Amino acid sequence: MKKIVFLPLVLFVCISYGQMKTYDLPKDVKKILFLGNSITYAGHYVNYLEAYFILKYPERKIEFINLGLPSETVSGLSEENHADGRFERPKLQDRLKKTIKAIKPDLIFSCYGINDGIYLPFDEKIFSKYKEGINWLDSKVKKEGIELVHITPTIYDKDGGEAYANVMDIYSDWLMSNVYTKYWNVIDIHTPLKQKIADNRFYNPYYKFALDGVHPNKEGHWLIANQILIALGELQRLDNSDKSCFDTFKNGFEVLELVERKQVIVKDAWLTYIGHKRPDMKLGTSLNKAETDNKVIEAQIQLLLE
């Protein structure tokens, strides 16, 4: 019995640390842009990443800018009657150029896929549109002289949704294959997340990573951030909960809370300024006011670091 209990834990550790060093964050990076859909827009994994780097590397002064957009795809597709027919899914192609021009990032992290199969069983034509969109994104970003790190799709975990879960497996595997065929920078969160869910369900058959099967809860976002940090070679203070990480830093959770406040201001201000085709979004404040508000928050963070 002990061997059976131990096996899932061993598998998760092996898979997690097997992905641990896929990308070295350049020392001269000052501004990182995150692109993606509603999971990125929710932003908890971005908040965890920024707070971690502030606490561990306060001298680096890296700016983390989250410009995820709910419902967005790179495939350019939208399922029939999306959002009850109110609007089609926005596509990254409509805002990438203006976003890069406005932000001028040194590095971009991109996470797409969960919307791109438009929640249908595997279809070769839909898959081709996803690949076409990812290739377009990679080409456009690198043409601007900006480094790009692709993140594999998260998992689909809706009851009865095995067919679409399989689609995400295929999309993730294809993205990872480009590490070897095109020498892309790709971080795999999909595989370890699947294993983590399997481990949890060994003990609790009702465990949920995302209540709706798509949008991870905060624990899920920590698991995403954890895998990204492991892939960046950040092995200290990492575990399966944010508490076990941020409790090891002085004022760790206080810094995280301030980062969360700052990120809400930044993402809505930039999205409003740059523009997009997604209705029902929160109207952000002006960039000038956002900058003023952020200076106050950054001063509070600095006091906590001293």
Q: Confirm whether 297 is domain-assigned.
A: no
Q: Confirm whether 294 is domain-assigned.
A: no
Which residues fall within 8 angstroms of residue 296, CB to CB, at 6 or more apart? none
Q: Give phi and psi for 34, each to the nearest 5.
A: -110, 125
**Residue 8 pLDDT greater than 60, yes or no:** no
Give alpha helix (H) positions in the chain.
2-18, 38-42, 44-56, 96-103, 124-143, 162-181, 190-203, 218-231, 242-246, 252-274, 287-305
CATH of the domain at 193: 3.40.50.1110
Q: Mean pLDDT check: name the lowest of 116-125, 172-181, 203-212.
A: 203-212
Q: Confirm whether 286 is domain-assigned.
A: no
Q: Nearest to residue 92, comparing CAs of 113, 70, 76, 116?
A: 76
Range of the domain at 171: 2-236
Q: Confirm whether 121 is domain-assigned.
A: yes
Number of domains the chain contains: 1
The Cα–Cα gap between 277 and 98 comes to 13
The dihedral region occupied by 78, where left means phi > 0, alpha psi between -120 and 50, and beta the remainder, is beta
Determine the average pLDDT of the residues in 8-24: 50
Q: pTM value?
A: 0.92
Token output for 234: 């950040």
Q: Confirm whether 184 is domain-assigned.
A: yes
| Owner of token pair 């001269």 | 28
Determine the average pLDDT of the residues in 30-54: 97
**Residue 7 pLDDT greater than 60, yes or no:** no
Residue predicted with more confidence, 22 or 264: 264
Q: Confirm whether 257 is domain-assigned.
A: no
pLDDT value at residue 4: 38
Mean pLDDT for all residues in the chain? 91
Report the Cα–Cα distance between both ends of the chain, in Å, rounded: 50
Determine the average pLDDT of the residues in 273-302: 97
Q: Confirm whether 259 is domain-assigned.
A: no
Q: Confirm whether 264 is domain-assigned.
A: no
